[in-house]
Amino acid sequence: MNRTFLLQQVLNGLAIGSVYAIFALGYTLIFSVLRIINFTHGAIFTIGAYATYALTGSQFGINGLLAGATLPFRLPFVLALLGGSVVAALAGVIVERLAFRPLRVRGADPLLTLVSSLGVAVALVNITQYLFGAEPYSYPDPLQGLPSAVNFGTAAAPVLVRTVQVVIFGVSMVMLVLLTYLMNATRTGKALRAVAEDMTTSSLLGIDTDRLILLTFVISGFLGGVTGTLIGLSVGVAGPYFGIAFGLKGLAVIVLGGLGDIPGAVVGGLIIGLAEAFVPAQYIAYREAVPFALLFVVLLVRPQGLLGRAQVQKV
């Protein structure tokens, strides 16, 4: 296998992988604090993508209740991105208040919370589809000034990665650093980890668990919105169900990396991205099965994931 090809595949893998990584960061953050799998992350991600689309003043298509609608103003892309992510964060908070908090208050099994999040996610995605239709959308290109791809090879043997993918990789690394810093080096982070460890005791010690949980959902939702928009920018918004597809693949990423482990989300994402990139050409049709095959194997062999710790069951 020649070096150029190898490098290209590796970079493709990292590009795909960093997409999964930023998705997984928000996903695993909620698990790290609340020990629940929040499948609505995929729906929030969708809402963020659609909100940004609306905020760029773009028009919705012919299906859906709001067919042909546009907002009466248009924002430059970055502001739309931020705005859309704020909308996503808000959606996350609403979901938390309406769906998860009642379950938490009743001491519900995490499995029940997973089921609830599945229902809410499907409902939200279908509401989005009902409102905006299922057609693909693409954003007005904010990177017009920049070259469309970055060359990591030579002029003679080019190894190209699209600029937007480089941006995504950069964002994922920045997010990783920021979240790790937050969790490990700030007081808020310490409080979050206390809540993760033992919610009742933390609350008794005067930690405002409600506010911290809210903060977790705000961060996670915002991240979800950013992710949705960036991915929409990179591959286009392929209909609201792409949130469900990501939600499902995201499960593989966070389990592989270790549920609740923040660096694990990035490691898991990059590994799955690389695995997908290196699927041999004749099996390319089965590429979509790769994350799930990995998920199944990891669950059987090492359910705590690569970076997670094995859980000792106390009898």
Provide the 8-state DSSP code for 146: S
Q: How far is the CB of 64 from other proteins (least distance, A)?
A: 10
Give me 223's structure tokens. Answer: 């991240």
* DSSP-assigned letter for residue 162: E
Q: Which is nearer to other proteins, 111 or 146 (CB)?
A: 111
Residues 36-75 that bind other proteins (CB under 8 A): 37, 65
Q: Which 8-state DSSP code applies to residue 283? A: G
- Cα end-to-end distance, the chain, whole Å: 53
Residues in binding contact with other proteins, number by CB under 8 A = 45
For 261, the token pair is: 């482990």
CB closer to other proteins, 74 vs 302: 302
Q: Which two tokens stand for residue 150?
A: 């970055």
For 17, the token pair is: 């992988």
Closest listed residue to residue 233, CA positions, set 132, 146, 121, 128: 146
Point out which span in 2-10, 113-121, 174-182, 224-232 binds other proteins (CB under 8 A). 113-121
User: Applying CB under 8 A, which part among 197-205, 208-216, 243-251, 263-271 lies near other proteins?
Assistant: 243-251
Report residue 125 as tokens: 């995605």
Q: What does the per-residue mask of binding to other proteins show for 127-146, with x meaning CB under 8 A?
A: x--x----------------
| Closest CB 137 distance from other proteins, rounded Å | 20
Q: Does 191 bind other proteins (CB under 8 A)?
A: no
Neighbour tally for 65: CB within 10 Å: 12
Which of 183, 306, 313 is CA-nearest to residue 255?
306
Q: Which stretch binds other proteins (CB under 8 A): 79-87, 112-120, 157-165, 268-276?
A: 112-120
Shortest gap between Cβ of 293 and other proteins (angstroms)? 6
3-state secondary structure of 237: strand
* Residues 255-274 interacting with other proteins (rule: CB under 8 A): 255
Asked if 248 interacts with other proteins (CB under 8 A), we say yes
**Phi, then psi, of 267 in degrees rounded to 5:** -60, -45
Query: Which residues lie near other proteins (CB under 8 A)?
Result: 37, 65, 98-99, 102-103, 106, 108-116, 118-124, 126-127, 130, 244, 248, 251-252, 255, 285-286, 288-289, 292-293, 295-296, 299-300, 303, 312, 314-315
